[in-house]
Amino acid sequence: MSSIQGNSAQSQTWSAGGYARHAPFVPALGAPLIDRLDPRPGERILDLGCGDGVLTEQIAQRGAATVGVDASPGMIEAARARGLDARLMNVERLTFAEEFDGVFSNAVLHWVKDADAVIAGIYRALRQGGRFVGEFGGHTNIAAISVALRAVLPTHGVDAPADWYYPTPAEYRSRLEAQRFIVNEIALVPRPTPLPTGMAGWLETFRGTLLDTLPPEKRQAAKDEIIELLRPSLCDERGQWTADYVRLRFTAQKP
């Protein structure tokens, strides 16, 4: 699956159980990316930020040999429980050299601090002609949610984070090309995402570590304020919450 599930572990911790309950859409909506990867029997595929291995397993079911990497011990444990070759590794410090036909990454690359280090490691990991197929948060991703966090958290004495890496297609293309990748396609894809456990579940799953920096008595108040700020734009008349996700989707090749 990929969801960095921890490759940004410096700033966010993950629980495989909580993730599966609050964010099943991550692997579910990432599954079509496997068609773009088109893994074949006999190929060797690296799943970068494999999380609990839901998508890695689907790649393996197509006959490819897979290796999943993730920086979250809990996620690696969950992936290994599926019988996968899953390794604890920071995606900014990949240790592979010319051994994969494809690198796959879903919902991970927005967490990384050093995008160039990740791209360099992927380029090194690929064989000549190998492909890099990925999707992650792109420019304007979760814009409403980010604004609400920035509006509320400082009033409780917490700096809203500089946030994550949501590049434009032009910016990410230039990073890929600077490291000799040929970019076959790259585009922003708006993908409004229904949240099975509402904005409360999303905040617990993806901003829980940040909210935990607040004293307990302020934590719930801050969460409620964020939710109420977002309700008019992200919650419909039936109470269904939808996150304002925008994906950056791309395919690149090592010449």
Q: Which residues bind ligand BEZ (CB under 6 A)?
A: 107, 110, 137, 141-142, 164, 206, 245
Using N-to-C axis directions, what is the helix angle for 216-234 and 143-152, rounded to 10°?
140
Residues 6+ apart with CB under 8 A from 100: 44, 45, 46, 67, 125, 126, 127, 130
Is the CB of 207 or the CB of 254 nearer to ligand BEZ? 207
Is the CB of 117 or the CB of 246 nearer to ligand BEZ? 246
Q: Is the dihedral of CA 16, 20, 21, 25 positive or negative?
A: positive
Measured from the CB of residue 212, what is the shortest distance to ligand BEZ in angstroms? 16
Measured from the CB of residue 194, what is the shortest distance to ligand BEZ in angstroms? 14
Distance CA 5, CA 89 (A): 12
Terminal Cα distance for the chain, rounded? 26
Measured from the CB of residue 141, what is the shortest distance to ligand BEZ in angstroms? 5
Measured from the CB of residue 209, what is the shortest distance to ligand BEZ in angstroms? 11
Is the CB of 16 or the CB of 107 nearer to ligand BEZ? 107
Of 20, 91, 37, 100, nearest in space to 65 by CA: 100
User: Which class for 212: exposed (0-12), middle (13-18), buried (19 or more C-beta within 10 A)?
Assistant: exposed
Is the CB of 132 or the CB of 136 nearer to ligand BEZ? 136
Is the CB of 64 or the CB of 193 nearer to ligand BEZ? 193
Which residue of this chain has its Cβ atom nearest to ligand BEZ in the complex?
Answer: 137
- Which helix (H) or strand (E) element contains residue 175? helix 169-178
Measured from the CB of residue 206, what is the shortest distance to ligand BEZ in angstroms? 4
